[in-house]
Structure 1
Amino acid sequence: MVTRVSGSAAAQKIAPKLAGEMAARVARSVQKNVTRAVSGSLGLSGERMSKVDTAWLRMDSDTNLMMIVGVWQLAPGVKYAAVCERIENSLLKYERFRQRVVEDAAGATWVNDRNFDLARHVVLEQLPSSANQEPALQDRVAELATQRLDPKRPLWQIHLIEDYLGADGVKGSAMIVRIHHCIADGIALISVTMLLVDGGAPPPERRKKDAAAHGAEDWLTDLFRDTLLKPFTDITVKALGAMGDGAARSLGLLGDPKKGLEHGLEQGLKSSVDMARVLFQVLSDTAALALMPDDAKTRLKGKPGGVKKVAWCEPIPLEEVKAVGKALNCSINDVLLSCVAGALGEYLKSHGDDVSGQEIRAVVPVNLRPLEQAHQLGNRFGLVPLVLPIGVDNPIERVYEVRRRMAALKGSYQPLLAFSLLAVAGLMIKPAQDMMLNLFSKKTTAVMTNVPGPREKLKFCGATLEQSLFWVPQSGDVGLGVSILSYGGGVQFGVITDSLLCPDPQRIIDEFVPEFARLSIVTLMLPWGEEG
């Protein structure tokens, strides 16, 4: 009897130990499987795509492809062999431009293309002969904007027209560049552009991450930190910087809780107040995004058909824009966005539409990366909804209204919230992601970018880069894209539209210069004092 009791006691001691060991083995097995799935090591050797980039990869639709499309106009012309040599020695230094994408249930992985052939990515083209080939170039850009990149190859392509005759009658060359948004955002690609031009520096060396070395728990921690905390601490505080030093300290503590415990009571109380301000702002911005009403119903809003049209104008002198902004105590951005609102309003009025009191919403990308990290590929930007007062006819009143609305966005966490939304969307299956992101297209008429470029004109393969334009993609049912790019002492407007919603974007473009002229004239007519 004593033996039976002893055996039972031993069994009672051994059973929990065995159960614990079994549970540990199961946990390790689950962790290993999750790690393999997350790291993309299920039969693949490559680099895992970030969740935000995955969201952009999956966002392609029949009517809107997620490609950044750009145009370079060069004088004199350049030759195909020289362009290929330049790309081989600069762009291809980035591994990403030699890698294709392989998707799986958990996301996507960058994998080296063993059959990479530069001739597939640099294509020689010829436009119909004409005294002015600009309309043909615009048609070709619009056509390529609707053609998918080969998913079995790296997701980029350059189309070179060696002999191009522009509207100014100068002989040269033109390059049409297409890069899928999952590779990088506009700010990163401008940095990449600096590698292509004459005298460009090589890309910095980057360290590869050993994803397989991290367990599932480490990956989940990294995901939480990189998706939610790092944008606060490393990006948003530097980019928006409107909440003051106290808020910056609070956000730093959020990213490093251990450091927060080391602060004294007084410092902790002050940080708590700052944190409350930050959280209140975040909640307010979250509510503003969630409760944002559907956009106004104009002829520019509707179901796109999938055929694109492209147009652009000659550059406006940047010094003149600066002078108007200085006279009105407004930023260059305020002046340019006011011209966009005026041009869209005039276009709608020319079609007989009543725009009195009307306004439309444009989504504007906001950079969320420190400038010293501009060379890094991937997507690190947020989105803010800007309401354009297209129904305000007085140009002075309109520019001040734009300034007021831009000021209201300063200090907002909406760009960060949109960035986090894209990260979360990248975790979802495509139908759920589409449903989530299509909510934005109902509330938006246009996607608009305003990017400052180099002040001096650049050289490429010995030729001068005379004009540079690019358009970011529109998602969902958004059918209008507006691009503003300052370069070489000028500011240039470009428009890309869905032909079903706007069959002639040139009529919008033709309104930009007159709108700026109206604003300039009215500014000169204001009752300035001696100082003015």
Structure 2
Amino acid sequence: MREAEHSGAPPAAIGAPLPLRAGERGTPMSAVDRAWLRMDEPANLMHVHGVLVLDGAVSIDQARQLLAERLGRIPRFAQRVASDGSRTVWTDDTQFDIRRHVTEEELPDGGTDAALARVLSGHLGRPFDRAHPLWEYLLLQGFHGSDTVVFCRIHHAIGDGVALMLVLLSMTDLDAAGEARNPFVELLAGGSHAPYATVVAEAERLMPETMRLMTASAEGFARAGALRRGLGSVAGLGRLLARPADPLTRFKGELGVEKRVAWTPPIPLEEVRALARRLGGTLNDLLNSAMAGGLRRYLADAGALPDGCCFRAAMPVNLRPLDEMAALGNRFGLVFLELPVGVADPLERFERIRRNALALRRSAEPLVVHGLLSFAGASPLALQRLLVRIFGSKATAVFTNVPGPRQPVWFAGRRMRDIFFWVPQAGRLGLGVSILSYCGVVRMGVGTDAGLVPDPGRIVDGFTAELEALAARG
């Protein structure tokens, strides 16, 4: 387990997009992306933070050259947000400078994990300069003596987890020598010369789980038909509105500027997948159950576990169809998974979560939430904030799972050894759990509000203990 905190002066209030300059033109931002942009608050920024650990060192010049070539070809990464008076738009940043977006620092104290944690903490609450594109890459040199860590900061308005995983692939090489053709670069840049079938085949080889996400849920909703989707959405909206607010626990409350993060050691993917099968569920069922157990342990250790405690985690569901895999932006909805934190027995808790998740698989909730986000992004800001507050009351945490490449990839000639990340907590939530698999292992990142949970490492420790308890019973 590694833990970090953010401290320092509160960031300035988040301002509205700057107006277009004379002669500039913009492309309207989708309503859903605009909703994510407007969720930014000084105490709760909608930034995705990721860590890429490389084997060996990469210089700042190498990184800038690579990212200028790869990300520079994706229009969104050279655009800033602006206002044309009535709409929020993307417009080319005429002052774009790769040196502003790709910087470096030297890790102190020999580059230990603790030193990495401290340096990461200083950036968690820092908003982007909206006069420029909403992303940054920070090279942290000297990790464990000689390795480079790439700390990625990208605003959620640019894309969701599936979109950003494709961006990750576009800036990497598929072999050590960098000779293998990377079709993702051309795909995301637009006007790809690679046959579509080639891109799909390469994606299936590298990310079979992600491709299943893109074919199963999105195409399943498409097959349901417009009438069934419409009726299901009406019923789903009614159930969402009627659902009571989550109980008040130590995980809910007023948010502050300070944040904490923790992450797990690498977990062998096939071992936990085999354990999930033995228990009669999915990998997600297993990880969600162990995390619910970790949350239970945290509350119990603090003497703050209510009898029969049960709350929900908001979980993204992909709605991006396969033929739109090149598009950025946000194409997902949410389901609200009930977590029986009050159940002490690990197997009983696992079975309840398995049944709860199974009941949600044909739910129309993802379509309802996506529609509400679209409506919110097109509404006055005050109405959006009201909607976010209402639906934020229905959950206590955000749980997200992004399957990454199954095989290793390389960044500027260096093998990417490890990846983990932290998800933003929309709806003024103070707890986020992020799961990412890569090259045969799974990492979980836990992000919390420091005023609510000052020590998320204890949640990670509880998760590990619960996983071991399930393994002993399975």
TM norm structure 1: 0.76
Answer yes or no: is the 8 Å Cα contact 1:396–1:519 preserved in 2.
yes
Corresponding residue for residue 502 of structure 1: 453
Residue type matched to 2:120 in 1?
V
Corresponding residue for residue 147 of structure 2: 172
Residue type matched to 1:412 in 2?
S
Q: Distance in 2 between matches of 1:480 and 1:155?
A: 23
Q: How many angstroms does 1:487 deviate by?
A: 1.1
Please tell me whether residue 491 in structure 1 is matched to residue 438 in structure 2: no
Please tell me whether residue 160 in structure 1 is matched to residue 143 in structure 2: no
Corresponding residue for residue 32 of structure 1: none
Q: How many angstroms does 1:404 deviate by?
A: 0.3
Match of 1:75 among 52, 55, 70: 55
Please tell me whether residue 196 in structure 1 is matched to residue 174 in structure 2: no
Q: Distance in 1 between matches of 2:439 and 2:214?
A: 30
Q: How many angstroms does 1:151 deviate by?
A: 0.6
Corresponding residue for residue 345 of structure 1: 296
Q: How many angstroms does 1:297 deviate by?
A: 1.0
Q: Which has the higher contact order (CA 8 A, sep 6+)?
A: 2
Q: Distance in 2 between matches of 1:124 and 1:150?
A: 18
Match of 1:56 among 36, 55, 62: 36
Q: How many angstroms does 1:464 deviate by?
A: 1.8
Q: Distance in 2 between matches of 1:115 and 1:294?
A: 46
Please tell me whether residue 121 in structure 1 is matched to residue 101 in structure 2: yes
SS at match of 2:186: coil
Corresponding residue for residue 83 of structure 2: 103
Q: How many angstroms does 1:183 deviate by?
A: 1.0
Q: Distance in 1 between matches of 2:162 and 2:214?
A: 16
Which string of whole-angstrom CA distances, capped at 9 and with x for unpartnered residues, describes residues 153-179 of structure 1? 1111111112112xxxx7411111111
Corresponding residue for residue 257 of structure 1: none
Please tell me whether residue 482 in structure 1 is matched to residue 439 in structure 2: no
Kindly tell me: are residues 400 and 459 of structure 1, through their superposed partners in 2, closer, same or farther at Cα, counting changes over 3 Å? Answer: same
Corresponding residue for residue 419 of structure 1: 370
Corresponding residue for residue 144 of structure 1: 123
Which string of whole-angstrom CA distances, capped at 9 and with x for unpartnered residues, describes residues 208-241 of structure 1? xxxxxxxxxxxxxxxxxxxxxxxxxxx9996266
Kindly tell me: are residues 190 and 58 of structure 1, through their superposed partners in 2, closer, same or farther at Cα, counting changes over 3 Å? Answer: same
Please tell me whether residue 93 in structure 1 is matched to residue 49 in structure 2: no
Please tell me whether residue 239 in structure 1 is matched to residue 223 in structure 2: no
Residue type matched to 2:159 in 1?
A
Please tell me whether residue 453 in structure 1 is matched to residue 404 in structure 2: yes
Please tell me whether residue 309 in structure 1 is matched to residue 260 in structure 2: yes
Identity of aligned residues (%): 40
Match of 1:206 among 172, 176, 190: 190
SS at match of 1:110: strand
Please tell me whether residue 248 in structure 1 is matched to residue 228 in structure 2: no
Kindly tell me: are residues 419 and 519 of structure 1, through their superposed partners in 2, closer, same or farther at Cα, counting changes over 3 Å? Answer: same
Q: Which has the larger radius of gyration?
A: 1
Answer yes or no: is the 8 Å Cα contact 1:237–1:248 preserved in 2.
no
User: Any stretches of 5+ residues in structure 2 without a counterpart?
Assistant: 1-19, 175-181, 192-212
Q: Distance in 2 between matches of 1:69 and 1:250?
A: 37
Corresponding residue for residue 219 of structure 1: none
Answer yes or no: is the 8 Å Cα contact 1:107–1:427 preserved in 2.
no
Q: Distance in 2 between matches of 1:153 and 1:279?
A: 39
Q: Distance in 1 between matches of 2:104 and 2:218?
A: 43
Residue type matched to 1:92 in 2?
G
* Count of paired positions: 425
Corresponding residue for residue 268 of structure 1: none
Which string of whole-angstrom CA distances, capped at 9 and with x for unpartnered residues, describes residues 142-199 of structure 1? 331210000101111111112112xxxx741111111111111111010010011123
Q: How many angstroms does 1:479 deviate by?
A: 0.7
Q: Distance in 1 between matches of 2:304 and 2:393?
A: 21
Residue type matched to 1:337 in 2?
N
SS at match of 1:90: helix
Q: How many angstroms does 1:522 deviate by?
A: 0.8
Q: Distance in 2 between matches of 1:62 and 1:463?
A: 36
Match of 1:396 among 320, 334, 347: 347
Q: How many angstroms does 1:106 deviate by?
A: 2.5
Which string of whole-angstrom CA distances, capped at 9 and with x for unpartnered residues, describes residues 313-346 of structure 1? 1111111111111212211111111111111111
Q: How many angstroms does 1:477 deviate by?
A: 2.3
Please tell me whether residue 134 in structure 1 is matched to residue 113 in structure 2: yes
RMSD: 2.2
SS at match of 1:510: helix
Kindly tell me: are residues 171 and 304 of structure 1, through their superposed partners in 2, closer, same or farther at Cα, counting changes over 3 Å? Answer: same
Which string of whole-angstrom CA distances, capped at 9 and with x for unpartnered residues, describes residues 450-497 of structure 1? 111112222211222111112221124211111111111111111111
SS at match of 1:144: coil
User: Any stretches of 5+ residues in structure 1 without a counterpart?
Assistant: 1-39, 208-234, 252-274, 524-532
Corresponding residue for residue 9 of structure 1: none
